[in-house]
Structure 1
Amino acid sequence: MNHSIRTVIIDDEPFSRDELTFLLQQHNEIDIVAEADSGEKGLELVIKHEPDVIFVDIEMPQMSGLDLATALQSLKKVPLIIFATAYPNYAAKAFRVQALDYLVKPFAEEQIGETIARIRERLSLNEKVETPIQPSKVARLAVEDEGRIVYLLPNDITFVFREARDTRISTNHRTFSTKTPIKDLEEKLKGYPFFRTHKSYLVNLDKVEQLIPWFNGAYQLKVTGQKQEIPVSRNYVKALRERLEL
């Protein structure tokens, strides 16, 4: 993702807005396009500017941050929602309205950096989902196996995962081991229906049979011919469902 991250800050406390603005501006990719001092004004600005992400307080008069997040779900383009609040006890409700992250005041620079990394990762993932799959130049995947080179058809691969220092490539018949990082294999398999469900797992979506709720918004996948269930990080669930469902 090369473009800037268009951002709106919504908080009824001027000092909190100033503090958050200062911390966010330390990151070059953040472009703060507007600020609002109420949920109602924030809703107007989101509709006007169509930001990539909003940072919103929860406790505000009239329209709370949770009310605003609920109202945003009806928009065609829903921004990523980051709650920035002094109240830690709203976290469960926050994630029910699809919040990407939950920051508790006073903000720490490290905490803001981790949140921006999550935003960047989610936006990059969304770009991949929206980009039509281009035909791949790679007909088969070459894997070293006991001194030989084995050529695997991508459609025969069920999933790829990282184990210790090796990458494992699983088919219905056996599992191969390679030193190639998952990131490189993901690049080679771009023209095929593979999806990164977790930092350590890459899955062939044609092999998916079930999506099983796990805990804290995470899921597990059941794939054809495999007993092992594959983890799906909660940050990837929405994009995964969009790829899998009609």
Structure 2
Amino acid sequence: MPEALRTLIVDDEPLAVERLQILCARIPGLTLVGTAADGAGALRLIESLKPDLLLLDIQMPGMDGMAVAQALASRPERPALIFVTAFDQFAVAAFDVAAVDYLLKPVETERLERAVARIRDRIGEAAPIAPPSPWTREFWVPHRSGIVRIAAGDIDLVEAERDYMRLHVGPRS
């Protein structure tokens, strides 16, 4: 899972964009990477910035939010979608294009936090567990008594010490 969700806000209303920027700043783990005022601009920024999360208005001039979501639907790597709109009549259609949530304006911090938590849960569930690499089954580590073999599964804790690391294994480290 990404350390911080790279977030792109897409809304044609400057006050709505400002409000979402304030909310994003309050939520740990969200990094705002840009804003767009229309669908075409959003698609260009999505291509260049590769956001993890899209806060997307529906009714905008030119290409609306639904058209953006439909354009993204065929892409294997696409940002998670949270629709943020003043209109409740598009909710069913939003979930048809795989939106994670549908928030009505004005958005409250707690409501956006819950939507972001849902995205984090989905990312955590979808993250594949890589098989252990044969190169990390064991480590040969210099020790006072010479070089010692340590099985990766025996390591309890790894601590950073400037340019070195300290491995804690059972009673010895």
Distance 1:99 1:42 in 2: 16
Partner of 2:74: 74
Residue 110 (structure 2) pairs with residue 124 (structure 1):
no
Q: Deviations over 1:36-71 (max 9, x none)?
A: 001000000011111111000000111010000000
Matches within 5 A, 1:171-190: none
Cα distance, 1:126 vs structure 2: 2.2
Q: Deviations over 1:199-243 (max 9, x none)?
A: xxxxxxxxxxxxxxxxxxxxxxxxxxxxxxxxxxxxxxxxxxxxx
Distance 1:123 1:25 in 2: 21
Partner of 2:45: 45
Distance 1:116 1:98 in 2: 15
Q: For residue 130 of structure 2, what is the amino acid of its counterpart?
A: P
Residue 94 (structure 2) pairs with residue 94 (structure 1):
yes
Cα distance, 1:75 vs structure 2: 2.2
Residue 81 (structure 2) pairs with residue 106 (structure 1):
no
Cα distance, 1:76 vs structure 2: 3.1
Distance 1:112 1:36 in 2: 19
Q: Deviations over 1:167-221 (max 9, x none)?
A: xxxxxxxxxxxxxxxxxxxxxxxxxxxxxxxxxxxxxxxxxxxxxxxxxxxxxxx
Runs of 4 or more above 4 Å deviation: none
Q: Rg bigger for which structure?
A: 2
Partner of 1:26: 26
SS in 2 for 1:62: coil
Structure 2 residues not aligned, in runs of 5+: 134-173
SS in 2 for 1:25: helix
Partner of 2:14: 14
Distance 1:2 1:99 in 2: 19
Partner of 1:36: 36
Distance 2:53 2:131 in 1: 26
Cα distance, 1:132 vs structure 2: 2.5
Distance 1:123 1:19 in 2: 26
Q: Deviations over 1:137-172 (max 9, x none)?
A: xxxxxxxxxxxxxxxxxxxxxxxxxxxxxxxxxxxx
SS in 2 for 1:112: helix
Matches within 5 A, 1:58-69: 58-69=58-69
Identity, in percent, stands at: 36
Query: Normalising by the residue count of structure 1, what TM-score does the alignment of the two structures yield?
Result: 0.52
Query: Normalising by the residue count of structure 2, what TM-score does the alignment of the two structures yield?
Result: 0.73
Cα distance, 1:25 vs structure 2: 0.9
Q: Deviations over 1:112-150 (max 9, x none)?
A: 1111111111122222x3x32459xxxxxxxxxxxxxxx
* Residue range with higher mean Cα deviation, 116-125 or 37-46: 116-125
Cα distance, 1:30 vs structure 2: 0.2
Highest RCO, 1 vs 2 (Cα 8 Å, sep ≥ 6)? 2
SS in 1 for 2:26: coil
Structure 1 residues not aligned, in runs of 5+: 136-246
